[in-house]
A and B are shown apart, each in its own frame.
Chain A
Amino acid sequence: MSAATLVRTRPQWTRFATPAVSVYVALVLLLVVGSVLVGARGGMLLDQGGILNILTRSTALGLVAIGQTMVILTGKLDLSVAYLIGLCSLIGAETMAGDPGMILPAVLLTLACAAGVGLVNGLVVTKLKVNAFIATLGMALIIRGYLENAYTGPAGEVPRVFQHLGYDRIGPVPISALLMLALAALAWWFLTRTRGGYHLYAVGGDEEVARFSGIRTDRVVVLAHVLCSVAAGLAGLFLASRLGSGAPWVGTDAGYDLESIAAVVLGGTLLAGGRGGVAGTIGGVLILATLDTTFDDLGVTPFFKDVVRGAVLIAAVALYARRRGLR
């Protein structure tokens, strides 16, 4: 199937741009308002440190959210990513054990383990017909049990070379953020330009219809789960490089499970699947990071942050729903 036919069979892809565009409009507005508020207190939101902060903060969440987008597009979700991130940071750091020669094997092993977890998730969802919510919640509990049993704190050591991944930057832009954006671009290409991506949307739109039109829906769902887990594995590796070691609770302390779902939905992807995309997700991630950084600069308490985060999430999705309703 060529690109041309793809566009013809799925002309509605242009419509996906709308929520994504509004996310970025909201982001720009937020940056302006944030700059004014921070400026009024004599600070500066978008100085080198501020940009660095927003982008660094976006990186781990961005990686997880890219994966989560895939799963949500198929109409499922993944609640196991937070524990998986901790597990992957440990696998990576312990395999490296401070030896630069072990970086490649460690990365491959980590991603393989992550893919394995995703595969199990996907198979449980498709073959055992367990609702994704329960399947991934169960997987989260299983990983949590292993982590609680086997670890009492940070473990393993990342070689210095690998730490450059987490700390190097070009001007105010961290290398890792660029890599995350590159991955996002790759995901965008996969979703909008390939058959696999088309199938993902189709399954999310209506699984029955997709099956009748000859798509192997089970495979698509498994693929989405594997991709999601691999993305979480990458986030785990990135965090290991930031922390210098693996940490069992690095994913759960940050609440990457619900936070990534929030970012995806904030980015205009439909929770029921079938609509949305990675571009919006990255916008959603940037909005959350900008909110955080602005509140930090304003010296707001974390409790207030939660209130605003919750309200923004509901309001944004209500607006999308309203717009869809009008159209």
Chain B
Amino acid sequence: MTGMNGTTTTTGAGRRLRLADGTAPVLAVLAVLLVALAFTGPAYSEPAGYLALLKRAAPLMILAIGQYFVIVSGGFDLSVGSLVTAEVVIAARLIDGDEAATLWVIPFVLGFGALIGLVNGLITTQLLVPSFIVTLGMLLVLDGAVFLWTGGSPRGALSESFRMVGREGFDVPLIGQLPWSVLLLTALVVAAVLFMRGGTGRMLVAIGDNQTAVRFGGGHVERVRTLAFVLSGTSAAIAAVLLGGFAGVSAQVGDGLEFRVITAVVLGGVVLGGGRGSVVAAMAGALTLEALFSLLNLLGISGGLESTVQGVIIIAAVAYASVGRSKFRTRKGTS
């Protein structure tokens, strides 16, 4: 942890403020969106509406957790979208409607996600290939390989028990039906926050901030960075279980998710290049993005304008965050 302290050259504000860096704006935007939702959609006047929103946002939020680990340690993971597709297609083919197979397919799917993450991480840290390229290559390889294996389009079917987590819920008094995915999401959020409070989590941020300092401080930079990719791969596997569960087998399930999740993480104030931002903010970014889509849908802005609005908002959000920060930084730099 000396690395962390060594790089904390900022003034008295200290570390506490830094951990929350960029969290406030995204939470404000999210609050505005949620209020707007409550006004436009009658469904959002009761908890069920928000639970439905959370259920829909859960896969992206989980992906955001994984992507956060990679981004905050200074990398990119572009392979998650095709990994999600690959996992769903693999699971469908292996299960092929057989309930009994679910028991081993779910661990297998999680293991496969972790393995892809491990490969990404090892190539990045051991062969010194930029993670953007490694995961771009992995994206191509996964895209091709999975359909090479299934002969062009998905085969088989998912079992009911595989789909349960993504599709169903259980009844809770007062709030109605609580989706399993929301419960899973909550557990993962708690785990992620605890992880980031721990030594490894802090080292992850420190590596993104200043890798050399951490190395001099005796930190296992390569090991921790690889771990980030493994976690990202695993998060993609979990997201795949949820998405496959929600809507069944599809060859398009992961299309464009990689860019959407990076957008979400950045929207949460996490800085590309690493070292700044919190995992809670990254997830808030994902939720904000989904709330925005829901709002645009409710307002009847669909199709073309939706992407334009999305484009403007991410630029504006990042510009707002970084112009504010860079003022601070230049003062520091020139002093």
Contacts and interface: CB of A to CB of B under 8 A. Distances in A.
Interface string A248-283: 000000000010011001000001100000000000
Contacts of A140: 311
B314 A138 contact: yes
A124 B314 CA distance: 12
Contacts of B133: 262, 265, 271, 313-314, 317
Contacts of B273: 131
Nearest to A270: B130
A147 B311 CA distance: 13
B123 interface: yes
Given A134-B318, A271-B130, A310 B137 contact: yes
Contacts of B145: 303, 306-307
A146 interface: yes
A314 B123 contact: yes
Interface string B41-75: 00000000000000000000000000000000000
A41 interface: no
A321 interface: yes
A322 interface: yes
A144 interface: yes
B interface residue count range (under 10 / 10 to 19 / 20 to 34 / 35 or more): 35 or more
A128 B319 contact: yes
A104 interface: no
B130 A272 contact: yes
A304 B144 contact: yes
Contacts of B303: 148-149
A306 B144 contact: yes
Interface string A106-144: 000000000000000000100011110111011111101
B80 interface: no
Contacts of B322: 128-131
A311 interface: yes
Contacts of B271: 131
B279 interface: no
Interface stretch (B32-40, B99-107, B215-223, B259-267): B259-267
B314 A311 contact: no
A124 B322 CA distance: 11
Interface string B128-145: 111011101111111111
Contact of A128 (B141, B148, B323): B323
Contact of B147 (A129, A145, A303): A303
A311 B137 contact: yes
Interface string A224-244: 000000000000000000000
A304 B323 CA distance: 45
Contacts of B147: 303
Contacts of A144: 304, 307-308, 311
A141 B128 contact: no
B304 A146 contact: yes
Interface in B5-53: none
Interface in A300-327: 301-311, 313-314, 317-318, 321-322, 325
Q: Which of B142, B259, B310, B319 has the most CB of A within 10 A?
A: B319
Interface in A33-86: none
B306 interface: yes
B315 interface: yes
A134 to B, nearest CB: 5
A124 B141 contact: no
A129 B136 contact: no
Contacts of A301: 148, 152
Nearest to B329: A129
B62 to A, nearest CB: 21
B291 interface: no
A302 B310 CA distance: 32
Nearest to B305: A145
Contacts of B308: 141-142, 144-146, 149
B172 interface: no
Contacts of B127: 318, 321-322
Interface in A151-206: none
A208 B134 CA distance: 27
B60 to A, nearest CB: 16
B129 A134 contact: no
B141 A307 contact: yes
Nearest to A321: B128
B129 A317 contact: yes
B266 A145 contact: no
A124 B315 contact: yes
B305 A130 contact: no
Closest 6 CB pairs of A and B: A145-B308, A306-B144, A141-B311, A310-B140, A149-B304, A148-B304
11 contacts: A128-B315, A128-B323, A131-B272, A133-B272, A137-B262, A138-B314, A141-B307, A145-B309, A148-B304, A306-B144, A317-B129
Given A148-B307, A310-B137, 12 more contacts: A128-B318, A134-B263, A134-B266, A144-B307, A149-B304, A261-B132, A272-B130, A303-B147, A306-B144, A310-B138, A310-B143, A313-B133
